[in-house]
A and B are shown apart, each in its own frame.
Chain A
Amino acid sequence: MEADINLSESMEDYLEAIYNLIKENGSARVTDIANHLKIAASSVNQGLKKLNQEGLISQEKYGPIKLTESGLKAAEKVRCKHRMLYLFLHKTLGVSQESADHDACRIEHALSEESFSKMVDYLIKNNYIEEQNCAFKMKAEKEEPKMAAEQLMLDKIKVGSKAEVVKIESKGRLKRKLMDMGLNKGAKVEVKGRAPMGDPIEIKVRGYSLSLRQDEAAEILVKEV
């Protein structure tokens, strides 16, 4: 996943900015990105072109900018590095919040995979981060398939099996809706059945029956129990 894309520092900044803007405002536009990064709109356009070529973003004419799946992964990764660095500097070394944030922002682009993974191990060992943290997901994706096999998406669960929700990976309204319906971390679910033609599926959660489509279930990370 990471070997094939080697992003320059500014590209990573763009990705992070787009990610944050989408999260904050629901969409990212060129002017917003320019404001966010405090650079000219023309250079943003150039950067976006590159990201587009790399297949990290997609943009319809005059439409808002969207992150593709690999773009989202890359952005989450940068963000995760940022968080880990911040935690490392602030919590273990006692660097002040502002400096830790600022430095994290600079170091994140240069940090090697190895240093990142060692740093995460250290943070985990000393209980600075909890299991829900992004680093765990990154590790789970990378490490031996054993760990990955334990956690899978809800649509892969067989009818009649039970599982526990680890994370909702959907974004925006759908994520909120799923969580409002009681599908949050730790919720126990049982797959009760599939509709004719295999879609949607019926699950039992918090004592009631809920239906959702396959592609919605495919955004819910669970572990079998």
Chain B
Amino acid sequence: MALNKTKRKNNELKVALAGNPNSGKTTMFNELTGSRQHVGNWPGVTVEKKTGRDSYQNYSLEVIDLPGTYSLGAYSEDEVVARDFLTTGDYDVVLNIINSSNLDRNLYFTVQLLEMGVDLIAVLNMADEAEKKGIKIDKEKIGQLLGTPVVETVASKGRGIDSLLAETVQHRDLSEAALKIDYGSEVEDLISEVVSMLKEFDFTSQINQRWAAVKLIEHDPEAVKLLEREVGVSKAKKIKSLIAERELKAEDDFDNIIIDKKYEFINKVISESVQRPAADQEPENVSDKIDAIVTNKYLGIPIFMAVMWGIFKFTFTLGDPLIGYIEAFFEAAGGWLGGLLVGAGISPLITSFITDGIIGGVGSVLVFIPNIFLLFLAIGILEDSGYMSRAAYVMDKVMSKLGLHGKSFIPMIVGFGCNVPGVMATRTLDSKRDRIISILINPLMSCSARLPVYVVFAGALFPNHASTVVFSLYALGIVMAVIMAGIFNKILFKGERSHFVMELPPYRFPTLKGVFIHMWEKVGAFIKKAGTIIFAVVVLIWVLANLPLGVEYASAQSLIGQFGQLMAPIFEPLGFGNWQAASSLVFGILAKEVVVGTLGVVYAAGEGGLRAALTANFSPLAAYSFLTMVLLYTPCIATLGAIKSETQSWKWPIITASYLFVLAWLVSFVIYQGGMLLGIGV
């Protein structure tokens, strides 16, 4: 019934995965297509449409993963993506992924799709969890009552995938009829009247008219808008006033009646096809027990703090020794290769390119693989456990005092990994205002790309307090985010009332597969970034350090030196008015790791590696001021790009870039000048 359905070859099928959030759509998508899309145990992981391919027998399938949604009356940006695709997109069949252990609410969405006339297969996923809860589902019966094929699966273990594929390719739209729920004489009479009015309009020939009528009767704003757009406000008004007039005389508001009847229908389906254990025989609910502690009135916030501290400790304490090894490896490799190249009579220029440029630049970034690895491992475990939603729940009161939303915490945590998905994760916020504020402060969450800068400086200048220094930077980022949220809250437009109606998923044991896939993906992306953009920038800087021809490598007279000197006065009051620091910051906007890469290239000439060079050129106070700058200043272009595409306007990325630069400068200024006055770390 899709509006834009195109003709496809007989053996080609376009299959969409749709259903409630957190029902396992992406897990299924990965299983079907071999992709590695992000899976997590909280509602709203997927926020955009993703496409992949699969083949089965002689069929070629195009599979589309959609964000989850509870109903077709979408509220947030991610739900709109799903709704728009399902109501107007181009697809042959919907695989409706259903959480079998929560049929009531999942079927509410199924029923909406069926009423629309969508050709669907009901996929009873998470069959393992339903079984554990003692829920027995009669597949045949439920299929018969809904009028759809039914398949049972456990996506996380790959169970039932074959039968699902078999059903998908066999399945052909057998009946054109959509599901009809009896809404009672009052509403039914009105439906037939509205349908006969709709029949006069051409545009309704391609959609299910009964469904459209029901949508109009329940005052669905999108349906009303569509009608007004297609037939003009005055003709739409006729239908609207008929409905309003009838509602005045009705037993209850029409939307109440319609939703109640839908649930009545679902209850009937369930009572005829599902057996649940009696209340006293239900297996004990472990999630509830964990929640009693984790979200406890007194323990909730301390536990939250402890979790954050734990992640941080885990990343550093375990990562530090590993970094030492890799660093030693690169140093040795540089020395050995340098000797080898010189010995072989290779020109000094090429030797310098390899040792200073590549090993000094890219190598100094790759050193941090262990930290990145551990950070994403920790975030992966956090995301898979089900704690993300609890963090939002526990922090909502605090956050709303700041004019934010508890759910804004999720993008913030994601932002510790990388700000790009962090910015995208704000899609799940219903209110536009909450969303904009969350986007504006997301770059203040110190992403993994900034970590290398902290670690190298902290190791060089604060060897005995390295982890405290780094932790203080993370904390400073959060404090600044809180302050800025408060400020934006005061000066930004007033938004609509936001709410906190959010599902708390059951705790699940993080699967090894899920967590490792997530981690490998991220580490892979980091290495790829080092091999592409960082490599390219590093080469550029090496070239600039060698020009004009004949200049001493990486001296103040080289192009990069001259460029840095031009910028340096801006940073003079902050304690690092040297050209090396200035140029690394400027190039760091391309990607934050480049800050280290640039310093690696321009300081590589010195003996004893980057750390020694930093100790020689920065006082501890200047180093801390520099790190503050790196933490707070203009985000990388990828993040700015994400902000542009999420807000659909240049205004917000420009505001973000400028306010952060000013903020960074001011805070670094206060730290450096304050430190100088007090005589700390000079």
The interface of chain A, by Cβ under 8 A from chain B, is 20, 23-24, 26, 79, 82-83, 86-87, 90, 97, 101, 129-130, 132-133, 168, 173-182, 184-187, 192-200, 202, 204, 206-213, 216
Contacts and interface: CB of A to CB of B under 8 A. Distances in A.
Nearest to B282: A207
B587 interface: no
A210 B501 CA distance: 7
A173 B207 CA distance: 25
B402 interface: no
Most buried by B among A86, A174, A209, A212: A209
B75 A173 contact: yes
B365 to A, nearest CB: 40
A207 B108 CA distance: 14
Nearest to B264: A186
Interface stretch (B251-259, B421-429, B629-637): B251-259
B374 to A, nearest CB: 29
B201 interface: no
B291 A207 contact: no
B393 A24 contact: no
Contacts of B577: none
Given A180-B108, A184-B259, A206 B406 contact: no
Contact of A209 (B255, B287, B406): B287
A195 B397 contact: yes
A193 B295 contact: yes
Nearest to A20: B244
A177 B291 contact: no
Given A79-B248, A182-B104, A23 B501 contact: no
Contact of B251 (A90, A129, A168, A199): A129
B393 A202 contact: yes
Interface in B253-269: 255-256, 259-260, 263
A180 B71 contact: yes
A83 B247 CA distance: 10
A193 B295 CA distance: 8
Given A24-B219, A184-B259, A210-B504, 14 more contacts: A97-B249, A101-B248, A173-B75, A177-B501, A182-B105, A184-B263, A192-B288, A194-B297, A195-B300, A196-B394, A198-B397, A211-B502, A213-B396, A213-B500
Interface of B: 70-71, 73, 75, 101-102, 104-105, 108, 219, 221, 240, 244-245, 248-249, 251-252, 255-256, 259-260, 263, 287-288, 291-292, 295-298, 300-301, 389, 393-394, 396-398, 400, 406, 430, 497, 499-506
B503 A197 contact: no
A174 B430 CA distance: 11
Main secondary structure of the interface of A (DSSP, over half): mixed
Nearest to B302: A196
B333 to A, nearest CB: 52
A32 B105 CA distance: 38
B260 A200 contact: no
Contacts of B394: 195-196
A222 B555 CA distance: 76
A97 B244 CA distance: 15
A86 B249 contact: yes
A207 B406 CA distance: 23
A177 B251 contact: no
A199 B108 contact: no
Contacts of A130: 251-252
Chain A CB count within 10 A is highest, among B70, B101, B105, B501, for: B501
A179 B292 CA distance: 26
B500 A182 contact: no
Contacts of A193: 291-292, 295-297
Contacts of A199: 396-397
B499 A177 contact: yes
A181 B430 CA distance: 15
Interface of B is mostly: helix
Contacts of B102: 206-208
Contacts of B400: 213
Nearest to A168: B256
B251 to A, nearest CB: 6
Contact of A182 (B249, B263, B499): B263
B76 to A, nearest CB: 10
6 smallest beta-carbon distances between A and B, as pairs = A209-B504, A206-B104, A196-B300, A180-B71, A197-B397, A213-B500
B405 to A, nearest CB: 10
Contacts of B221: 26
Contacts of A86: 248-249
Nearest to A130: B251
A86 to B, nearest CB: 5
A23 B250 CA distance: 15
A175 B75 CA distance: 12
A213 B501 CA distance: 7
A181 B255 CA distance: 14
B73 A200 contact: no
Contacts of B73: 176, 180
B259 A210 contact: no
A180 B397 contact: no
B393 A200 contact: yes
Contacts of B505: 209
A212 B297 contact: no
B377 to A, nearest CB: 27
Q: Of residues A86, A101, A199, A207, which shows the largest number of chain B Cβ atoms within 10 Å of its Cβ?
A: A207
A17 B298 CA distance: 49
B248 A82 contact: yes
A120 to B, nearest CB: 14
B497 A174 contact: yes
Contact of B499 (A83, A174, A194): A174
A206 B105 contact: yes
Contact of A208 (B219, B248, B263, B503): B503
A182 B99 CA distance: 15
Nearest to B394: A195
Given A132-B256, A133-B252, A196 B301 contact: yes
B501 A196 contact: no
Contact of A195 (B248, B249, B295, B497): B295
A179 B252 CA distance: 15
B20 to A, nearest CB: 10
Nearest to B241: A24
A202 B500 contact: no
A180 B406 CA distance: 21
A195 B393 contact: yes
Contact of B105 (A101, A198, A208): A208
A24 B219 CA distance: 7
A83 B300 contact: no
Contacts of A180: 70-71, 73, 108, 259
Contacts of B287: 209
A101 B242 CA distance: 13
B104 to A, nearest CB: 4
Most buried by A among B73, B249, B287, B506: B249
A86 B186 CA distance: 15
Contacts of A23: 219, 244
A41 to B, nearest CB: 19
Nearest to A90: B249
A197 B393 CA distance: 11
A134 to B, nearest CB: 8
A20 B251 CA distance: 16
A5 to B, nearest CB: 22
B200 to A, nearest CB: 22
B70 A181 contact: yes
Contacts of B249: 83, 86-87, 90, 97, 101
A212 B300 contact: no
A27 to B, nearest CB: 12
